[in-house]
Chain A
Amino acid sequence: DSGVTQTPKHLITATGQRVTLRCSPRSGDLSVYWYQQSLDQGLQFLIQYYNGEERAKGNILERFSAQQFPDLHSELNLSSLELGDSALYFCASSVSTSYNEQFFGPGTRLTVL
């Protein structure tokens, strides 16, 4: 158990809908990272937050957004969902703002029908 929690474990929804994925980092970690993992794309970095502020953006679509709250938990919002958004979404956390030792949560499996 990495200490990073994610909810929900599974999410099934329809195209055009909006969902919110939640992540709680390890105790003491200030950075949160979101990743998408699909079969044909591997692990893709989406976005990073550090202590409530956005620090880096990767391959995140404009339909996706995230935020980190004062208690350091983070939410990833996915809107206008398409079939191709079906994937595993992972949250990771680390102590500092550098991108090194990251600890991953168990993931949320999103299925868009």
Chain B
Amino acid sequence: QKEVEQDPGPLSVPEGAIVSLNCTYSNSAFQYFMWYRQYSRKGPELLMYTYSSGNKEDGRFTAQVDKSSKYISLFIRDSQPSDSATYLCAMGTGRRALTFGSGTRLQVQP
């Protein structure tokens, strides 16, 4: 079993929809949680960074961390075709390399 599980998708939604992307993990030592957006053949771009549990909002993006359930989510409101990309979750303990999910491919249809 992988330390971080992420549904590969693809997830197809109409423009304007609310998108929910999720990762589950097994290592209770993870304290730092990140979401990256990666366009095709480009470098991952850091979208959200959260320490420990709770919510963080930035514009149309909201990240949630539930450490008790070992579950993190990224919500995208009013999704746009430009949001079409692969979304990678990443998490770490601060003492070793980040562990990345395999990525969820999102397609927002105009």
At the interface, yes or no: B13 with Cβ under 8 Å from chain A?
no
Q: How large is the interface on A (under 10, 10 to 19, 20 to 34, 35 or more residues)?
A: 20 to 34
Residue in B43, B97, B103 whose beta carbon sits within 8 Å of that of A58 in the complex: B97
- Complex-state Cα separation, A101 to B34, whole angstroms: 8
Contacts of A56 in B (CB 8 A): 96-97
Number of B interface residues at 8 Å Cβ cutoff, please give it. Answer: 22
- Complex-state Cα separation, A58 to B34, whole angstroms: 20
Among B17-25, B44-52, B54-62, B73-81, the stretch that binds chain A is B44-52
Q: Which residue of A lies closest to B88 (CB)?
A: A43
- Complex-state Cα separation, A101 to B103, whole angstroms: 18
Known contacts A2-B45, A88-B41, A106-B42; A100/B32 CB under 8 A? yes
Total residue contacts A-B, CB cutoff 8 A: 58
Are B43 and A106 neighbours in the complex by a CB distance under 8 Å? yes
- Complex-state Cα separation, A105 to B96, whole angstroms: 20
Q: Which residue of B lies closest to A47 (CB)?
A: B97
Are A100 and B45 neighbours in the complex by a CB distance under 8 Å? no
At the interface, yes or no: B87 with Cβ under 8 Å from chain A?
no
At the interface, yes or no: A64 with Cβ under 8 Å from chain B?
no
At the interface, yes or no: B94 with Cβ under 8 Å from chain A?
yes
Are B94 and A100 neighbours in the complex by a CB distance under 8 Å? yes
Which residues of A line the B interface, CB within 8 A?
2, 4, 33, 42-43, 45, 48, 56, 58, 88, 90, 98-107, 109
Which residues of B line the A interface, CB within 8 A?
32, 34, 36, 41-46, 49, 88, 92-98, 100-103
The 3 closest A-B pairs by CB, nearest first: A104-B43, A45-B97, A43-B100
